[in-house]
Amino acid sequence: MKNILLLTDFSDNALNAIRYALRFFKSDSCNFYLMNVCKVKSFISDDLMLSSQDSIYESIIAEPKDKLNQLIKELREEFNNVELNFETIIDFDLFTDAINQAVNTKDIDFVVMGSNGITGANEIIFGSNTANVIRKVKCKTLIIPEGYRFKNVKELLFPVTSDDNLTESTLEDIVTFINSYKLHTHVLQLNSQNNQAETILYKLPDSNFKTIDDVPVEYAISSYLQTNTIDLTLFLEHSKPFLERIFKASPAKNITSPLLIFHTN
């Protein structure tokens, strides 16, 4: 049984990511946790000072609770041929603190979110919430580009760079994921003689391998995505802001597939 955390701010982008997740994991037995992190600052101080602690809590969660219940109703109607197990989580902690708490207490396997929040900042590839989740939440994270429509996932791109230092457990986790969903993998070795690429290929017999040298990483990946049919791109998150470095000069339109972030142990 997989435990999937679906983050929502009730934007169209978040709803699109949730729909993607329900389709992607349709063959798995899953518990889906719909989570909204409230912004307490939206309540004026006089309201908080004049209310009891219980009524403050009820006031904060009333609207998101109704929205989450309505969302579950709509999703059950839309996916009426699938048995869906939903639970709701409402928190008003700091965004990534709330997510980390849910990841730990609910034994979450995947976090799912849209690439931008409700502000829809088009000038950057990730909204600040998404970037913070990548950096601070050590859980596999599936990020769905704004407006992306689900299609069957068959082709996965796995870039390997000189920064990568895969532990055996992380590699086994990646291999298990790829084999579970029967994905054909494109291993892209970039500007490095990373001997781990051979290990990856040994463990992934259904894969292609390509080396690109003397080309900036961001352009190599962007070009590969534009010239090959890729349904999902897998990245390793490092201590360096790797994803931001890759995409800082790339327009959002170059992100043509969902991203799956694995964290090195």
Q: Domain extents for the chain?
A: 2-144, 155-263
Q: Poorest-confidence range of 96-110, 141-155, 214-228?
A: 214-228
**Class of the domain covering 155-263:** alpha beta
Q: Kindly state the tokens that stand for 5.
A: 């955390």
Q: Say how far apart CA 84 and CA 133 lie, in whole Å.
A: 25
Enter the CATH code of domain 2-144. Answer: 3.40.50.620
What was the pLDDT predicted at 197?
66
Query: pTM, whole model, 2 decimals?
Result: 0.87
User: In this model, does residue 22 exceed pLDDT 60?
Assistant: yes
Let me know if the fold of 2-144 is the same as that of 155-263: yes
pLDDT tens digits, one per residue of 81-118: 788 999 999 998 889 999 999 999 999 999 999 986 44
Read off the amino acid at residue 28.
D
Bridge partners, 96 (sequence order): none
Phi, psi dihedrals of residue 114, rounded to the nearest 5°:
-80, 165
User: In this model, does residue 14 exceed pLDDT 80?
Assistant: yes
Q: Where are the alpha helices (DSSP H) in the chain?
A: 12-24, 45-49, 53-78, 95-105, 128-136, 168-180, 196-203, 217-227, 242-247
Write down the mean pLDDT value for the chain. 82
Bridge partners, 111 (sequence order): 5, 141
For the chain, give the percent of residues with pLDDT over 70: 78
* Residues near 249 by beta carbon (within 8 Å), at least 6 away in sequence: 218
Bridge partners, 91 (sequence order): 37
Q: Say how far apart CA 160 and CA 230 lie, in whole Å.
A: 16
Q: Say how far apart CA 162 and CA 87 lie, in whole Å.
A: 41
Q: Say how far apart CA 32 and CA 44 lie, in whole Å.
A: 33
